[in-house]
Structure 1
Amino acid sequence: MTPDQIFKRWVQGALAVFVMAFAYFICADIWMPLSTQARVMHPVVGIAPDVSGQVTQVLVQNNQPVKAGDTLFTLDQRAYVLAVDKAELALEAAKQENAQLEAAIAAARASVTAYQASADELALEVKRLGQLIGSKSVSQQLVDQTRANYTGALAQVEAAKAQVNELMVRRGASGDDNLLLRQACNNLANARLNLQYTAVQAKVDGVISNLQLVPGNYATAGKALAALVAAKADIIADFREKSLMKVSVGTTASVMFDSLPGQVFAATVASVDAGVKDGQLPADGSLANPESSDRWVRDAQYLRLHLALKDNDQVLAALPSGARATVQLYPVSGPARWLGQVQARFISLLHYIY
């Protein structure tokens, strides 16, 4: 065989390998898509106090596991203890004021009764004098004076009733529905809640990270002082749009973690993100900004999947947030699934090298 024939066969072989590899890539991208752009993501909770104050104790260390409800650090309580005392005194003062108003209302009602009795008596006197005036037994002056006294007594009754109404308005509802008592109880509950907030607690199970806090630091309400990496974790993976044409929620998958070479974990697709950042138009009043590119073949759009491991939550919780992984999807069954499993096993073994 001449050198030209040998070269020709090498070229033909290379072309055949290229065509086969290209066909495999096209088919694999649809029937057994794979992505190396996957990570383990733990929700990160910022540890921020709800009240401000000077840190008195730090009860945890950096990278220490904690449970929900564990106290992480405490703030100076003196100002908040005084606030509770002040609110308790205000509640006691409100009760005393209500008691005084109740006594004043009782006295005003007694005055109404007394004035009403006087008015009733004068009414009878006016009636008797009216009968006697015809026989000239009494003077007209006495009759007029008695009628004036009766009118004055009626005015005193109305004034006493108005005073009762005024006092009842000032008191408001009685019992637990009283406005002053409700306001005082609300202030006391708020003061006690702020006192509880001086002990900053973990909201979820996880691991404390980036703790740079020492006693003496001043903590500002709402400002994060440390991070709590939650124990709960999620696996995210980015795939080209075309690769997901046969994928749906519930599609089985294999996950290979870089930190666990040689192991393949079964998983399922839990959800698919509804969009990406480029698919959001800001409502800022500006005009549209169409994409411009002189490339003949534009970059493919990637979409994000969320996967759940099958019966391996402890493994997932032990991995750090941001840990790299490779995801192999199985949208179809048959030979494509078998080849995908071989591909997943090969990549898992390859993690021993890189």
Structure 2
Amino acid sequence: MRKSLFSFAQVLLTVIVVLVAAAVLWRVVSYYMFAPWTRDGRVRADVVQVAPDVSGLVTRVNVTDNAPVTHGQVLFVIDQARYSLALQEARATAAQREATLAQARREYARNRTLGELVAHETLEESLSRMQQAQASVDEAQVAIGVAQLNLDRTVIASPVDGYLNDRAPRLGEFVTAGHAVLSVVDTASFHVDGYFEETKLRHIRLGQKATIELMGESIVLHGHVRSIAAGIEDRDRDQGRNLLPDVNPAFSWVRLAQRIPVGIALDDVPAGFLMIAGRTATVSIDPPGDQPHGGGR
């Protein structure tokens, strides 16, 4: 009798252990397969490329590599001598044309006072010369504005608050208009992009809270879902010669889930926390218990 009870207890214990193991295994499988989390996350930020509007030699550099900058801070200055002379030339041309306009106005006024003593054609010619002189003066004023603008654009300032890239311009370097010289990482634009498998998207809604862990950091960040990508590229489909879809005929029996970008806005970043665009992050969507109301796309 005692042996039978011992055997029954062994069987019961074995069953309990198997059930617990199965429950744990199912929970682990469910978490890895269906829970909305991913290790494939990246810290992202807007990178603003700074390109001068005028060309010339760099005569002054106020920043260093990787330095923090503020909006409106002067980064570097381009040689202003040529643009100062262009402004003086434009002002001199304007003064000359204003003198010509004054002479044309006096001539037209004199011809009008003479009345019948001046032929009608002569009066029209003097009026035309005055109008042409006025147009020349207006053109000269525009040239002054352009010259002043070019002179002002020799001073290059930071468009945003952020950090420079790892190479500031060097003194004496020649920069060309329209070509980026440096870039600034906008600190106000830091966010995290999590690439979630499509099998987990049904658990993700706009506005849901998220937990972010950066690799190598012990501090946990918090945010919320701000966007879900509306489309991704199909690598198996191309366009043929006849503008028809060129679909890959090969088919793999093991179909991997596509990864969909989900944008996570950061709610709070501790002071002094080192945010670097491109860092690896683990993103977990919090359970829906305390989530705000909001629908998906």
TM (normalized to structure 2)? 0.80
Instruction: Report how far residue 82 of structure 1 moved.
Output: 0.7
Tell me the number of residue pairs that the alignment of Structure 1 and Structure 2 aligns: 277
| Root-mean-square deviation over aligned CA pairs | 3.2
Instruction: Report how far residue 286 of structure 1 moved.
Output: 4.1
Instruction: Work out which of the residue numbers 106, 109, 132 in structure 2 matches 1:170.
Output: 132
Aligned letter for 1:196?
D
Matched, 1:295 2:252: yes
Q: Give CA deviations for 1:94-149 in whole Å, capped at 9, x if unaligned.
A: 211221221121122123x143xxxxxxxxxxxxxxxxxxxxxxxxxxxxxxxxxx
Q: Which position in structure 1 is the counterpart of 2:53?
A: 50
Q: Which position in structure 1 is the counterpart of 2:92?
A: 89
CA separation in 1, counterparts of 2:223 and 2:174?
A: 46
Q: Which position in structure 1 is the counterpart of 2:266?
A: 309
Aligned letter for 1:179?
A
CA separation in 1, counterparts of 2:112 and 2:264?
A: 75
Q: Which position in structure 2 is the counterpart of 1:187?
A: 143
Structure 1 unpaired stretches of 5+? 1-5, 116-155, 172-177, 338-354
Instruction: Report how far residue 312 of structure 1 moved.
Output: 2.5
Q: Give CA deviations for 1:63-102 in whole Å, capped at 9, x if unaligned.
A: 1111111111111111111111111112212211221221
CA separation in 2, counterparts of 1:203 and 1:213?
A: 16
CA separation in 1, counterparts of 2:120 and 2:135?
A: 27
Structure-2 change in CA distance of 1:284 and 1:236 (3 Å):
farther
CA separation in 1, counterparts of 2:97 and 2:73?
A: 37
CA separation in 2, counterparts of 1:14 and 1:92?
A: 99
Instruction: Report how far residue 159 of structure 1 moved.
Output: 2.4
Q: Which position in structure 1 is the counterpart of 2:280?
A: 324
CA separation in 2, counterparts of 1:78 and 1:186?
A: 20
Equivalent residue runs for 1:132-147 within 5 Å = none
Instruction: Report how far residue 281 of structure 1 moved.
Output: 7.6
Structure-2 change in CA distance of 1:315 and 1:236 (3 Å):
farther
SS in 1 for 2:289: coil
CA separation in 1, counterparts of 2:222 and 2:182?
A: 34
Matched, 1:106 2:62: no
Structure-2 change in CA distance of 1:186 and 1:166 (3 Å):
closer
Moved over 6 A (4+): 12-16, 279-285
Q: Which position in structure 1 is the counterpart of 2:195?
A: 238
Instruction: Report how far residue 45 of structure 1 moved.
Output: 1.7
Instruction: Report how far residue 23 of structure 1 moved.
Output: 5.8
Instruction: Report how far residue 276 of structure 1 moved.
Output: 2.0
Instruction: Report how far residue 303 of structure 1 moved.
Output: 1.1
Matched, 1:207 2:211: no
Matched, 1:21 2:21: no
Matched, 1:37 2:19: no
Instruction: Report how far residue 34 of structure 1 moved.
Output: 0.5
Matched, 1:80 2:83: yes
Q: Which position in structure 1 is the counterpart of 2:295?
A: none
Structure-2 change in CA distance of 1:186 and 1:21 (3 Å):
farther
Preserved contact between residue 238 and residue 246 of structure 2 (Cα < 8 Å): no
Structure number with larger C-alpha Rg: 1
CA separation in 1, counterparts of 2:266 and 2:18?
A: 41
Aligned letter for 2:146?
N
Sequence identity (%):
26
Structure-2 change in CA distance of 1:15 and 1:54 (3 Å):
farther
Preserved contact between residue 246 and residue 331 of structure 1 (Cα < 8 Å): no
Preserved contact between residue 104 and residue 167 of structure 1 (Cα < 8 Å): no
Give the structure with the higher percent helix: 1
CA separation in 2, counterparts of 1:204 and 1:282?
A: 41
Q: Which position in structure 2 is the counterpart of 1:351?
A: none
CA separation in 1, counterparts of 2:100 and 2:287?
A: 75
Structure 2 unpaired stretches of 5+? 1-9, 292-297
Matched, 1:248 2:205: yes
Q: Which position in structure 2 is the counterpart of 1:219?
A: 175
Structure-2 change in CA distance of 1:268 and 1:225 (3 Å):
same
CA separation in 2, counterparts of 1:162 and 1:94?
A: 20
Structure-2 change in CA distance of 1:212 and 1:70 (3 Å):
closer
Instruction: Report how far residue 282 of structure 1 moved.
Output: 8.0
Q: Give CA deviations for 1:34-65 in whole Å, capped at 9, x if unaligned.
A: 11111111211223211111111222111111
CA separation in 1, counterparts of 2:107 and 2:23?
A: 102
Preserved contact between residue 43 and residue 277 of structure 2 (Cα < 8 Å): yes
Preserved contact between residue 239 and residue 245 of structure 2 (Cα < 8 Å): no
Give the structure with the higher percent strand: 2
Instruction: Report how far residue 19 of structure 1 moved.
Output: 7.7
Preserved contact between residue 109 and residue 164 of structure 1 (Cα < 8 Å): no
CA separation in 1, counterparts of 2:287 and 2:45?
A: 27
